[in-house]
Amino acid sequence: MIKTGGQSEELILNIIKNSNEVIVAIDLAGKVILWNSSAEKLFGYEEKEVLGQLFPLVKSEFSFELNTIITKTKEGSSLNFKTQKQTKDGSGLDLIFNTNPLYYGGELIGASIIIQQVDLIKNVNYLTIDIEQENKEHKRTFNVIRDIILLTVGNDKKTINQISTDSGVNWRTVEKHLTYLIGKKLAAEIFSSEYVRIFELTNAGRNYTSNIKRENYNKYIKKTVE
C-alpha cells in the first residue's frame, strides 16, 4: 500500500480512494498498492483482497498487457488502450486503461491506472459547450476551451486527468489553460505532488461560470442526457 507521511499526502490519498473514478496503482512487479472504492464497486474485489497481490485483472505476471504497462512505466511513458476484463463474478467489461508512471519521494515506484467504462464515456451526463455553431471547422477557440474547463470543474475538486476525461479536452491542453486560468484568478491549484495535481474554482471562477449559464444558456449550454 502507498504510505503517506503528512496531512497533504493523507488528503490526496483520501481524495483518490473516494473518487468517482476507478483508480488503482501497481508496483513494478505488477502487485496492487492502491485500489480505491470505485474499483471495488466496478470489479467486485475488496481492497483487502487485492493489496499486495498480483493485479487481479490479468491472468499472470507474464501477461502481455501487464508487461507492456510495466515496460512503458519504467521508460517514463504513459499508455492508453482499450481492453476487455471480467469482474469477480465473471461479468464482462469493455474498458479504457490510462496509465502513468507513479513517483514517490522522487523514486519511480509503479504505475497509476485510471480505468473507464467505454459505454459510460459515450453517455456522460454533464454540461457541455456546443461549439459547432462557433466554428464550422470544429476548432475550439481558447475562450471556449477555457469555458469548458471551468464548467467541467464546477463546484468540485478535480485532477487534470479528471478534467480531461469529463470535458473531452486533451490533458496537455487542460494543463496549459489551467495555468492561464490560475493567472486570471479563476482557478486555484489546491494540491500538488510529483504524481497528481488538484484544482478548484475560485469565487471569481464560480461567479464566472454562473454568468455563463445564466446569460448565455441558449447559445452555449445544452444537456447531453436528460
In a shared domain, residues 143 and 214: yes
pLDDT at 126: 39
Does residue 40 sit within a domain? yes
Domain that holds residue 142: 127-223
Does residue 164 sit within a domain? yes
pLDDT of 219 strictly over 50: no
Domain count, the chain: 2
Contact of 181 with 187, CB cutoff 8 Å = yes
In a shared domain, residues 106 and 131: no
Q: Which of 98, 121, 144 is the last residue of a domain?
A: 121
Q: What is the pLDDT of residues 110-165, one digit of tens each?
A: 999 999 888 765 544 433 333 333 333 334 588 888 988 998 898 888 888 888 87
Q: Which residue has the cell 463546484?
A: 155
Does residue 2 sit within a domain? no
Q: What is the CATH number of the domain that holds 58?
A: 3.30.450.20
Does residue 1 sit within a domain? no
| pTM, to two decimals | 0.53
Does residue 187 sit within a domain? yes
Query: Ranked by mean pLDDT, which of 1-10, 25-34, 78-87, 149-158 comes out on top?
Result: 25-34
Does residue 13 sit within a domain? yes
Give the Cα separation of 170 and 73 in Å (integer).
20
Please give the average per-residue pLDDT across 18-37, as a whole number: 92
Q: Which residue has the cell 467541467?
A: 152
Q: What is the CATH number of the domain that holds 157?
A: 1.10.10.10
In a shared domain, residues 165 and 111: no
Q: What is the pLDDT of residues 41-98, one digit of tens each?
A: 999 999 999 999 999 888 776 678 888 899 999 999 888 888 888 899 988 888 889 8
